[in-house]
Homo-oligomer: A and B are copies of this chain.
Amino acid sequence: MISIPIQNFYPDDASICFGCGRNNAHGLHIQTFWTGEEGISDFRPQPYHTGWPGYVYGGLLASLIDCHSIGTAIAAMYQAEGRAPDSEPQIRCVTGTLHVVYLQPTPIEAGIHLRTRIKSLTGRKAVLETVLTANERECVRAEVIAVRVKEG
């Protein structure tokens, strides 16, 4: 388990993402911890992150899945190349597709926990599957395709 979130290794100029940028004062500051096998993320929603009363806004859940999946893909790609996430060249990915299945409403008073595993990693493309739980109940399942951006 790496104790530093993968987003902390993103270069300063790219760390302004509303979802996961450490330098975005208005953002969500989503963090991804890579265990060597999967990505883990925890998020505590604010009361204003509501959808229908009592439940977390689905767009926020999609946002968590988006950034956390990309973070997990990047961490896995560094590992696949046998090098540390602060080594060059930097790896960047973008989201190709985001598919979210809302299984049941996510209670807003609970913390949100995401576990993301690599389904496949081939060439510049990673397919990631996320299980999102709150109060230890599975609320959302998602699949993201992450695409590595060419350097330069």
Contact = CB atoms under 8 A, between A and B. Distances in A.
Interface residues of A, number: 38
A24 B17 CA distance: 23
Given A62-B59, A63-B62, A95-B58, A17 B101 contact: no
A66 interface: yes
B95 A97 contact: no
A111 interface: no
Interface stretch (A36-44, A45-53, A78-86, A116-124): A45-53
A52 B92 contact: yes
Contact of A18 (B17, B50, B99): B50
Interface in A97-150: 97-102, 105
A53 B16 contact: yes
